[in-house]
Amino acid sequence: MSTVIIDGVKLCLSQFINVCRNYSTVILNQNAICNINKSQQVFETILQNNKTHYGITTGFGYQHMNNVKKEEQKRLQENLIMSHAVGIGEPFDEEIVRGMMLLLVNSLSKGFSGVRLKLVETLINMLNKKVHPIVPRKGSLGASGDLVPLAHLMLPVIGLGQARYNGDNMSGLEAMQSAQISVLRLDEKEGLACINGTHCMTSIGAFLVYDTKNILKIADIAAALSFEALIGIPKIFDERIHKIRPHKGQIDTAKIMKSLLQNSKLVYCKAIPEKQDAYSLRCIPQVHGASKDAYNHVLENILIEINSVTDNPIIFVDENEIASTGNFHGQPLALCYDFLCIALSEIANISERRIERLVNPQLNKGLPAFLIKKNDINSGFMIMQYAAAALVSENKVLSHPASVDSIPTSANQEDHVSMGTIAANKTKDILLNVRKVLAMELLCSCQGIDLRKGMSLLGKGTAATYKVIRGNVNYMETDRELYKDLYICEKLIKDEEIIINVEEVINEIIF
């Protein structure tokens, strides 16, 4: 396993994935250690001035006007963690919890939070020894940070809550003891520094942009195979068309579709009449391309956020100053996630329309109804389109923007909230639906190719796709349990087996 060195500045998406999915070891570099120590020393100096500082010598939110006695300031931080741990529902996946810990470590390592090095090292030990706090999925408004999920994340650090260690759920204290990690008593500001940030919604978002890229690649691959099964007219990929409307995603999609279809004898055939295809074929570059452009916007913002400080208050070391801020507000991400919801939903929308054209005998250019030869006693792929329509409809509901809502909290002190974590959670639900719809399209298009006996006539990239799928899922002669085929095809997408094989054959990165 590789080692990821944290400096608070240069954490990239591939490193994030390596730590969270592949369990790479995390270490701090010397600059990060210096920044943490310097920030903590300056914070200690500031504390000696006996001035009022939010969340340190005062309560939180509406209670910021209440002063806290010196001897109770450490207890205030632990009370904050306990009282804010009111998460609801199923727990987050382990990888998202690891992402939350990694992003918190990276943010604290920048040296603007005033926490002890010992606290950061404890979080790193938990990552490296695989102590994973159990964090419920719901409860954050994405406003004054991801208060609720991050509070659950911090409970085992102080010997409370629940955690998973060596495959077993146990108390947070038991997990820490089993991993031989000492629990901590929090110092001033440390509780606030660890929950007043966007690390939960950003963790979800980092996985979203990583997985969406593969979804967008598969969308082009599935569309190309359907294009052949439906004998589309390839003139639409002519680069001259797209240069006069030069959206990057549109141009890139047209180019990659030509690469995937290169040498296809099904579509590059003089016998094809020069008419028009339906939009779900003719507008692939415009629709897929727009979703790619939206994705690039979201990616840019995620990469900014994973190396940002979203704590409050912030310590400015050089000026010996502490400032109350609003960097914890999730609005920059909330808008992005709502945008990504729409971009992903559109990929499933147009995919389902291609599935309909494949199964509908009035639209599929001579293929048998529902892609089955003997369709008197066999339903074939009829209900595959039905299920795709159900997922597409669900996506439309989930695409309603969360960021347009706001419910004031903390006695109206926190009077505008982002709902960013809600937006992130529903975007993940949509992504999972889209993956299934694309798996359905791949299965239907392969069946259509078989029925046309076009296996030897496929393009360069589509032939590679067909080979991978047919190496795992057989042609359907009569009805069988299609959910099994769907699960296999979805796993091929998730494991990137299709993408790896296709990109190797065409010698080109799809997106």
Residue numbers annotated as active site: 54
Q: How far is CA 198 from CA 1, 17, 45, in A?
A: 28, 18, 28
Which long-range contacts (C-beta less than 8 Å, at least 24 apart) are formed by 71-79? 73/188, 74/185, 74/186, 74/187, 74/188, 76/191, 77/186, 77/187, 77/188, 77/189, 77/190, 77/191, 77/192, 78/158, 78/185, 78/186, 78/191
Strand order in the sheet with 168-171: 132-133, 162-165, 168-171
| Cα–Cα dist 223/185, whole Å | 56
Residue 363: exposed, middle, or buried by beta-carbon count in 10 A (0-12, 13-18, 19+)?
Answer: middle
Residue of 324, 305, 328 lying closest to 315 (CA atoms): 324
CB proximity list for 166: less than 8 A, separation 6 or greater:
130, 178
Neighbours of 369 (CB within 10 A): 17
| Cα–Cα dist 47/33, whole Å | 21
Contact between residue 251 and residue 239 where contact means Cβ atoms under 8 Å apart:
yes
Count Cα atoms within 13 angstroms, Cβ side, for 374.
6
**Which SS3 state, helix, strand or coil, does residue 326 take?**
coil
**Which SS3 state, helix, strand or coil, does residue 250 take?**
helix
Q: How far is CA 110 from CA 21, 33, 120, 127, 296, in A?
A: 24, 9, 11, 19, 26
Contact between residue 510 and residue 502 where contact means Cβ atoms under 8 Å apart:
yes
| Cα–Cα dist 425/468, whole Å | 32
Give me the residues paired with residue 6 across strands: 28
